[in-house]
A and B are shown apart, each in its own frame.
Chain A
């Protein structure tokens, strides 16, 4: 095993390389581009026996990726944000082809306003697409999850594409020491790609992705896809154990930190959860029994595991780095759905929204979240969802607005632009 300083993007590229990927349809988008640059460099240097093709859009990229997978080869691709949304029609379409491949998404906030910094609205939009989702919080995890994602996708009980998600900038461009799995062990773990009956050959013609008439055959195929996705829970556990045996690193479907004796639990996705982890350490020092749950697997949703881990807790604070306009945090709703009506479910489930477009979530805010949650438990009353924003931020925002309005006035006075 070699240790190497890698960015999250570099780790994803290494995952594709160690999995002996055959084919990489690509399209550049910030902050994902480094992944395809790394792979392209290896191919040009003869270090990776694969073919890369730069498509003219993510819509075409996802189409080419799935079409190649449906022809019987191992495929990897990567995108981000607007790109994921541009390809969204095809995400929903190709999952039904049951042709497995792996897509890395480097999370970035969605327009409007356009931004480069991370949040999870892009990946949440893919939530119901039929792609399975693994969310990472470290560069090591990105590499390891990419290897695991191929196994998950290609398992005969699943046969679905998988997205490995990491946060833009915070993970994609952060260098961390990463253990590179030994190529032979990695290739043994991932195995050869067996296309089974999903392939095109002259001697055995097939029709794939054909139309159906009527709701009954349609429902049948949709239910089949859902049931296959649900098989992912058991399969994931299996291959996690296998991965731990081979590489010594453990990645259960939900990472539980200081949860056993906790009465208040944070729930967060991705790299921002490392901030919550730091807050837990501080709160523990102050004698407060706070823990953290970080789901790695979002699809399939590990509902039963959440119920077990949260049984008997008094309060849960879900911190969503996404916002469903007119509703609130997506993970909060998902968790409420998983817990509702279960006898040992925590009585208080609070919703906080933060980290949009790369907005930091400070330790102080996490302490406040813990206090608000504890208070809700004591009062037996759930406060409305809270949108994290500090007075200081609002003051800075007001300054920007003031500058904008002064500039406009200047233009109007000088006759440069009319605004009537």
Chain B
């Protein structure tokens, strides 16, 4: 493991000023997933193969166009990590048998939404980590089956309205802790990121790129269409997710959990919730204080356990 200890990304000024990912994709205006991918791709670079599972970002590469400067392989909803296994093993075999020069090698990157990562693809991901596959996994997490119209998924937070949880209490379940599930496999690296915190994101992908083995990133992806807000609020909502403590920015490295950006004075979760139509039922026609408090308490308990 060649972990990089000093980041070249100290402030916004150090971030790449031009983007590698092409423009004109069919993603929605204000897509928080694309916001994160844009920043990640600058640092991953074009010596990469993106192995994709069914989801919104499958539509990035529609014949005959692609915004990627490197390579792309679409697989299916459940098995992108298995696709990464095949590509990685093939590249290793080609180098080992001297049928391909080492400088033709590429970073193998799995790109899936939360529907695949938290659910259908979890078995394939578990297998890939257990086999210590040298790959990078990027999950853009918009907290629902976004590409089919935002039905709830295992990533949907408690109380959120989705196309399949339209009642007055929203989604009755709780967001699955994918970070903990991935970390329990003891991969080389796991981190959470959000596009609205570019320096934190850059440092994490920089660190992941300096390592070998399974490296996993979950990018919270504010979704104007699924979460029901004005596309211009994507950055604000992303920042509030961090400042309210709802989306802890953290990493798991060398068996240690580290929080990379601790909100010292957490804003009330209400500030995050009230910007989004998916939580409108908490405030109108009358305020559902019980559910708001429930959500607040869950966040408070998370940070209190960490002594924050």
Contacts and interface: CB of A to CB of B under 8 A. Distances in A.
Contacts of A325: none
Contacts of B59: 211
Contacts of B208: none
Contact of A200 (B63, B87, B92): B87
Contacts of A67: 51, 73, 75, 82-87, 90
A71 interface: yes
A82 to B, nearest CB: 16
Contact of B71 (A61, A90, A205): A205
B104 A201 contact: yes
Contacts of B79: 59-60, 63, 90
B71 A93 contact: no
Contacts of A292: none
A56 B124 CA distance: 7
Interface residues of B, number: 47
Nearest to B85: A64
A70 B73 contact: yes
Contacts of B66: 207, 210
A53 B89 contact: yes
Given A56-B127, A211-B63, A64 B72 contact: no
**B47, B49, B51, B100 — most chain A CB neighbours (10 Å):** B49
B136 to A, nearest CB: 15
A214 to B, nearest CB: 10
Contact of A23 (B70, B89, B106, B131): B89
Given A207-B72, A211-B74, A72 B126 contact: no
B284 to A, nearest CB: 39
A86 to B, nearest CB: 10
Contacts of A57: 123-124, 127
B175 to A, nearest CB: 25
A63 B87 CA distance: 10
A63 B81 CA distance: 9
A43 interface: no
Contacts of B69: 205
Contact of A89 (B76, B84, B104): B76
B93 A51 contact: yes
B58 interface: yes
B36 interface: no
Contacts of B83: 63-64, 67
Contacts of A53: 85, 89, 131
A382 B127 CA distance: 54
B181 interface: no
A93 B86 CA distance: 15
Given A200-B106, A210-B62, A211-B62, A59 B78 contact: yes
B71 A60 contact: no
Given A25-B86, A63-B82, A71-B86, A210 B94 contact: no
B74 A209 contact: yes
A205 B82 contact: no
B91 A71 contact: yes
A55 B82 contact: yes
A60 B89 contact: no
B72 A73 contact: no
Given A55-B82, A209-B74, A202 B62 contact: no
Interface in B115-157: 123-124, 126-127, 130-131
**B68, B74, B89, B105 — most chain A CB neighbours (10 Å):** B89
Interface string A39-72: 0000000000101010111011101111111111
A147 B212 CA distance: 37
B93 A23 contact: yes
A205 B61 contact: no
Contact of B70 (A64, A93, A205, A211): A205
Contacts of B94: 71-73
A212 interface: yes
A365 interface: no
B63 A212 contact: yes
A71 B76 contact: no
A205 B106 CA distance: 10
A64 B89 contact: yes
Contact of A64 (B61, B68, B82, B91): B82
A211 B58 contact: yes
**A53, A60, A65, A66 — most chain B CB neighbours (10 Å):** A60
Contacts of A25: 85-86
Contact of A202 (B90, B93, B104): B104
B46 interface: yes
B103 interface: yes
Interface string A68-101: 1111110100000000000001100100000000
B58 A60 contact: no
**B46, B100, B126 — most chain A CB neighbours (10 Å):** B100
Given A51-B89, A205-B46, A211-B61, A60 B82 contact: yes
A2 interface: no
B13 interface: no
A23 B124 CA distance: 19
A200 B94 CA distance: 11
A73 B85 contact: no
Nearest to B64: A210
A55 B85 CA distance: 9
The list of the 9 closest CB pairs from A to B, nearest first, reads A67-B86, A60-B82, A56-B127, A71-B90, A64-B86, A68-B86, A63-B79, A63-B82, A207-B72
Interface of B: 46-47, 49, 51, 58-59, 61-63, 66, 68-76, 78-79, 81-87, 89-94, 97, 99-100, 103-106, 123-124, 126-127, 130-131
27 contacts: A51-B92, A53-B85, A53-B131, A55-B85, A56-B126, A60-B78, A63-B83, A63-B86, A63-B124, A64-B89, A65-B86, A67-B86, A69-B86, A70-B86, A71-B90, A71-B91, A73-B93, A200-B73, A205-B46, A206-B72, A207-B61, A207-B66, A207-B71, A209-B75, A210-B63, A210-B74, A211-B62
Given A93-B75, A202-B103, 19 more contacts: A23-B90, A55-B85, A57-B127, A59-B76, A59-B79, A65-B86, A67-B86, A68-B86, A68-B89, A70-B73, A72-B100, A75-B86, A200-B90, A206-B72, A207-B72, A210-B66, A210-B72, A211-B61, A212-B63
